[in-house]
Chain A
Amino acid sequence: MKLNYRLIRKIKNQLFMLVIFLSAALVLIPLFLVIKYVFQEGASSLSLSFFTELPKPVGEVGGGMMHAILGTMYIVLLGALIAVPIGITCGIYLCEFSKSKLSKTLKLTVDLMSGIPSIVIGIFAYLMVVVPLKSFSALAGGVALSIIMLPIIIKTSEEILKLVPNHIREAGLALGLPRWKVILFIILKGSISNLLTGIILAISRAAGETAPLLFTAFGNMYLSFDLKKPMATLPVQIYTYAISPFKDWQRQAWAGAFVLMVLILTMNLFARFLLNKIKDKKGF
């Protein structure tokens, strides 16, 4: 009887381990499948013309997504242009005045903001920019993406600035510098390369967003750099092609997904790698 009980415990333990290993495999398999599938389908559909040509009219085989690649870069940079200064400013506030009431409210705001469904942000940007300008536009897309990037940039900036030890601040103050100069010219300036990590992370997130661009930047079959006109982006172009009935467009959607994923995963891994390095070194 006693032996039996011990055996049962042992079996339970082994079973549990099995379940855990299986689940790990279960998670890694889809990841592997997605990557494998995208690489396989994407790489085989990829050609030089994908990067250098515009889409061909329906029915004609060939063409590329040059306009969408450039469009994605344009809109993401536009979004970063809005979100980076505001985000870093808030990061400084959170780091330097962390005990104030406003800081706590801002932290909650950031958490809630990062939880807003991206499609809702798209609708907001539509109402704010597309309706008054009476046209879908790159600007509206940039505004939408900036709201997506903002919480990420605020959070990482705060974390990174907090890594600057307090005695560095004191050393600055002890030189007879006013606090604002210590913050801007010693702490912020000294952290610029680290802050870049947060920006890369935010950009890698924003570059893959489709939903907020559907009715802001909308899409365009031609190359455009006009802020006030619709602009193609890689994710929206992939979406349009993916749900189309044309085999050649579907192939191009795969090529687009491949390019997008390589781009995003590279940026993301790079930022993570830097972030780990910074944290290991405690910054300095």
Chain B
Amino acid sequence: MDILSVFNLLLALTLAPLLPGIINRTKAFFSGRVGQPLLLPYFDIARLLRKGAVYSTTTTWLFRAGPVAGLATAAAALTIIPALGQPALISFKGDIFLLACLLALGRFFTMLAALDTGSSFEGMGASREAFYAALAEPALLIGMAALALVTGELSISGMYAGIAGKVFVSIVPICALVAVALMLVFLAENSRIPFDDPATHLELTMVHEVMVLDHGGPDLGLIQYGMALKMWLLGSLVVGVVFPMPGGLYASVVYVCALFALAIGTGVVESIMARFKMPRVPQLLVAAGAASFLAVILAAR
């Protein structure tokens, strides 16, 4: 076990809530406001964890399991996510499928918790989430397949270390296509504009937010922390193909800076474009899948 891999995992667990903070500050800057404190997500989570929770009598254990499963799967997935070329804490052949399964499991429980409330809003949200995820997952997996083909590795850590060892020019087209696909998956999975609007209060238009409407107190705190971890882990996959470099302390610094830059970029996107009409969202996700598939073709050539 590499001490740096443990260090990177600790970085992820402590710095993840900074990402939504940075996005919000970027948006505030663009709209001419001072914006909320950068550390507000930490305070929010701390505040929520100290609160009590109210449960509807119509809900079952599924409702309470949702937030726990969401956080647990995200935290578990982080252990197989490399930091640029630095291998993850755990890595084995085919761990990409474990990643996809963990993401799906977390989502499955979030959706069950939403359906458990019996609210028509939350049911709609769950149905949208399932639909989008069904399109985002192939884009992620096919993109990873391209990396596996080009590096000959079958673990995520192996792939990311592999592209770092390649001659840069030879893998640029593949990395660029995979980066585009993963960026779209990143925005979709983290319910950001143009897929979803995390800032809206309109329950009819929400996707992720509406599924957690009935959660409060510690449950909501777990959900928010889980979402931050998910953002960090999907962001790690994106920056890994944008900055392929071998592991080391230096790589860890670049890694964290690149993730912060990604958060700023997300904030910029949210500041300059409107959210898509819902029927257009699948088109964009299919485009992400197409980019991934093109990368596979290039890698197999």
- Binding partners A and B: no
Residues of A bordering B, CB below 8 Å: none
Residues of B bordering A, CB below 8 Å: none
